[in-house]
Amino acid sequence: MNVPRDAEALFGTRFHRDPAGTYRRLRREHGAVAPVRLESGLPAWCVLGYRELLRVTGAPELFSRDPRLWNRWHQVPENWSLRPYVEPRASTILTGAAEHRARGRAVREALSGVDVAGLAARLHECCDALIDRFAGRGSADLVVEYTHRIPLLVMARICGLPDGEVPMLTHDVALSGQEGDEAVGAYERTMARMRWLAAERRAEPADDLASRLAESSVGLTDAEIAADLFLVLGKAHLTTSDWMANALRLMLTDPHFAVGLAGGRNDIAHVLDEVLWADPPMQNFVGRWATRDTELGGRSIRAGDLLVLGLAAANADPAVRSRSGASTGNRAHFAYSHGEHGCPDPARELSRVIASTGVEILLDRLPDLDLAVPEEDLTWRPSMWMRGLTSLPAHFAAHR
Ligand code: HEM
């Protein structure tokens, strides 16, 4: 692919300061499909147009999820920070269309078996216990002490891990997603734990995700089950916690959404929908690879070129945003991506139950929440994938 040396960077201070501004600039200068550079200067196409993204995500035979197709692997540095997410692995998500159909079905079916009523009870228990720790203090960091803790606490139980292992798991899954030397060790520890769980449940099944994957007619190996359990935990963790935190930020900073603080269920659903349009937790996704030379949005795409799914940018495409108007009830956004590799329906449902319950319980318990710092002081994690706050300091009347 022909990407100019000065193509816009989807990394670095300028991008992180204002990703939405970057997407606007890219759209203005290049249209629906823009040449960009990722870390280490690696070239990619960023798909910003809603229609174009629909085409890319809807045609896995032409725009594959298989990273082995990439025509730039020879330029990827050993320590490239996106390598763990892009490198070919045993995971269901990183496979071509045919293999994915079977593996994806196994994960979808296993997630469909989750007992949502049981989940609600577990959620209440987790959220209340977390709030109990800071309610008497009158202040808390709602990201560090609350939203970031909930999804893994719940998902570990769903996967089949005993509660005693949750603190270590939470620590390792979070660490494995960060830059730095400890990430690989944390990833390997978690995978070893998951392989053990897969083998254990194959021998003695229980009512959990690991057992359902082990019993799947697709016939998964223990290594494949471990990879898929890790995928599920990894996918659920930051996405769902950032979704909750972005919704709380909106409620605490924008008077139009502050009404949600009264605790109304409809209001919370409205704020959560708005966030999926305006500040989706996964703002970009890497990616898809062209299986042959083709054309997209007026661009010549070469076989093996990498396409970044511009999920937040496509949501903001003036062609759809002006037509769709208010976000209430409109779920045609790209927050969960789309098509065969999009976030599976049962996962979407689970994440909505987790996010709405987490926000609802917090507002029920602490109805007078207020932001403890000026809005401009809130900082976002420097990530090209995720759109989430590093912390959300709040204060409230102390409760015993
Ligand atoms: C309980 C919480 C969640 C679980 C268990 C979960 C699970 C998954 C799984 C298994 C995949 C891989 C799909 C495949 O390749 O077949 C996936 C993909 C994805 N999920 Fe989720 N997810 C959760 C929450 C979320 C949330 C809250 C968001 C954002 C709002 C999100 C956005 C995505 C995106 C963008 C993809 C990538 C799709 C692509 O490649 O096109 N997920 N998720």
Residue ranges lining ligand 1, Cβ < 6 Å: 57, 92-93, 104, 107, 231-232, 235-236, 239-240, 243, 276, 280-282, 285, 335-337, 341-344, 347, 350-351
pLDDT at 33 (0 to 100)? 98
One DSSP character per residue, 61-106 reads TTEES-GGG-TTGGG--TT-TTHHHHS--S-GGGS-HHHHHHHHHH
pLDDT at 348 (0 to 100)? 96
Q: Which CATH superfamily is domain 8-395 in?
A: Cytochrome P450 (1.10.630.10)
Q: Whose CA is nearest to atom 35 of ligand 1?
A: 336
Helices in the chain by DSSP H: which ranges? Answer: 12-17, 19-30, 50-57, 83-86, 97-112, 116-135, 150-159, 166-176, 182-203, 209-215, 222-253, 265-278, 311-315, 318-324, 345-365
Residue with tokens 């216990």: 129
pLDDT at 258 (0 to 100)? 78
Report CA(132)–ligand 1 centroid distance (Å). 30
Report CA(118)–ligand 1 centroid distance (Å). 22
Residues 6+ apart with CB under 8 A from 66: 88, 94, 95, 96, 289
Q: Whose CA is nearest to atom 17 of ligand 1?
A: 343
- Distances 243 to 162, 275, 395 between C-alpha atoms, Å: 26, 7, 20
- What the block records as the tokens of 116 is 């949502």
pLDDT at 187 (0 to 100)? 83
The continuous run of DSSP H or E covering 287 comes out as: strand 285-290
Q: Dump pLDDT digits (tens) for 105-139.
A: 899 999 999 988 888 888 999 999 999 999 999 99
Q: Across the strands, what pairs with 44?
A: 36
CA distance 376 to 389: 12
- What the block records as the tokens of 43 is 């070239």
Report CA(57)–ligand 1 centroid distance (Å). 14
pTM for the full predicted model: 0.93
Q: Dump pLDDT digits (tens) for 194-247.
A: 999 999 999 999 999 999 999 999 889 999 999 899 889 988 988 999 999 999
Report CA(296)–ligand 1 centroid distance (Å). 25
Please report the atom of ligand 1 found closest to the CA of residue 339: 41
- Distances 170 to 156, 164, 175, 235, 342 between C-alpha atoms, Å: 9, 11, 8, 13, 25
CA distance 375 to 94: 38
> Which residues in the chain come in under a pLDDT of 50?
324
Asked if residues 91 and 227 have their Cβ atoms less than 8 Å apart, the reply is yes
One DSSP character per residue, 47-63 reads E--HHHHHHHHT-TTTE
- What the block records as the tokens of 196 is 């053990």
Q: What is the largest CA-CA distance in the chain?
A: 65
